[in-house]
Amino acid sequence: MRARVGAVSPVLFKDGEGCGACYKVRCADQSVCSRRAVTIIVTDECPGGYCAFGRTHFDLSGAAFSRMAIAGQGPELRNRGEISVLYRRVTEILIIETAFGDERTLCKYRGKNIAFHVNEGSTDYWLSLLVEFEDGDGDIGSMHIKPEHVDALCPGGKEERLPLIRMCNFILPIRVFRREMGREGERGDCEEEGLMATDFFWSYTDEPHATRRKQILAKYPQIRELFGPDPWAFIKAQNRKKKPLKAVQREEKELEYALCLQINAAVLIQLWTATYLCSASWLKILTVAYFFGSFLNHNLFLAIHELSHNLAFLTPCYNRWLGIFANLPIGVPMSITFQKYHLEHHRFQGVDGIDMDIPTYAEAHAIKNAITKSIWVILQLFFYAFRPLFLKPKKPGMWEFINLLIQVSMDSCMVYFWGWKSLAYLILSTFVGGGMHPMAGHFISEHYVFRPGQETYSYYGPLNLMTWSVGYHNEHHDFPRISGSRLHKVKEIAPEYYMNLSSYRSWSQVIYMYVMDRTVGPFSRVKRKLDAKVKKAA
């Protein structure tokens, strides 16, 4: 039992309500950890230290550490003291059968009983049941009825068409037990990763960023000095105070030119590469597109994201013109349209029918396993681009027509002078860079819920250098008027607001976890109802 008991922080212990709960815990560091998970029974609340400040924390035994480690790495893992883990509450599945079942559960409490009653409201056509876990915590996730002759009932997947079971007004002679999703380290009849959600996480509170923004500004008003366009780097507040206004404006003007130079360089390099590959083989074009062009096009896509917040110039139309120019190598006109939908994503995060960043029910129901999730990841840029056009089309204006005209003209010139392969290279660079690609990991990492209770996640890794620091996503949603080059300052000034939030170090790992974790899918997003107040604001 040494590896099967543990203490948890107050946020999970809940003043004793969490005592007796079961959690499956797996180490996230693949350098010293295997994919084996340990399932623990909560017996106590861990004191202070790592467990303080509202953190989610597990105090595990040395045996539990050894079980999660790669062979021979147990001592090293234990000596680390604190490690990052993935965890989930073990779903309690009641399997009702007329014979004793397989004794494989890790969360079975001997001597506890299930009370199984037929309610008064039952009829010949409708069976109403009351199932209670007596002497336990009463937490029953789902229930399946299993006739004696059926070998196994694996939760999830297609529904089993079971024979009709006639029940009279008495307690059936059944044995009920909790089934674990396969032994540790094995892939039993049921996958060890659990069940994929069948609906979104519905929240009945406002999105968290506005509240956190008010708290941070009340405590650190100097963060306001970071607001506004910052084309290249942060001009320190003390320098602003020392320099005359004209000097500051002149310096900001120089930095505007610096940003234009950076975008110009990416655009010209990508267009030159397209002309260079005009007669190359398709294999060479695809290879260069994946390993080179995808990085440039994704950089430009996220430059457009930065420009959609008017973070390059004080004059909005200048940002739009630069966005249209940055759009050229992407191959498809999207700069102006993206701005309209993206600003709604910030203002109405998660609101049903307004935030077009969230997958549709049709998408989510079609994604059932790792294969379909992989296909969805590869094609996610198409879903991302076309979802709002079908679900919430907006009437195009003058700027959309300008964007379309300039983009079509550039594409036509590319085909006329250098052929279809040059244009294909640009579009392939966009497509592969938005699919199964390290740069595209931010599409998933930003808001897909791997840890219930948190709906926005930051990434603190090296690719921020190529993506205008879009990885600082909690910071970005808290302060959308702060440019990417300054977002790290927010975390430095107010670290206590971000240090306890889950974050990532690898976008590639996020894609891998999304595909392989059976509990995560398109439904792993937080949504909010469209109430009258929000509808009026929209």
**Range(s) for CATH 2.40.40.10 in the chain?**
2-89
Name the DSSP letter for residue 179.
Answer: P
Q: Report helix angle 294-308 to 420-433, nearest 10.
A: 70
User: What pLDDT does 194 receive?
Assistant: 52
Contact between 93 and 155 under an 8 Å Cβ cutoff? The reply is yes
Give the model's pLDDT for residue 47.
73
Query: Is 2.40.40.10 the CATH number for 2-89?
Result: yes
pLDDT at residue 126, as a whole number: 55
Task: Indicate if the alpha-carbon torsion angle 431, 435, 437, 438 is positive or negative.
Answer: positive
- What is the per-residue pLDDT for 193? 41
Q: What is the pLDDT of residue 518?
A: 85
Is there a contact between 441 and 510 (Cβ–Cβ < 8 Å)?
yes
Averages of pLDDT over runs of 10 residues in the chain (538 residues) are 71 79 82 82 77 76 83 79 79 39 42 60 56 56 50 40 33 32 31 63 87 94 85 39 50 60 93 97 98 97 95 90 97 96 95 94 92 96 93 94 98 97 97 96 95 90 94 96 91 94 95 92 91 64
pLDDT of residue 237: 35
Q: Do 348 and 538 meet the contact criterion of CB atoms below 8 Å apart?
A: yes
Its pTM stands at 0.63
d(CA 272, CA 419): 13
CB crowding 444-475: b at 16 or more within 10 Å, else e: bbbbbbbeeebbbbbbebebbebbbbbbbbbb
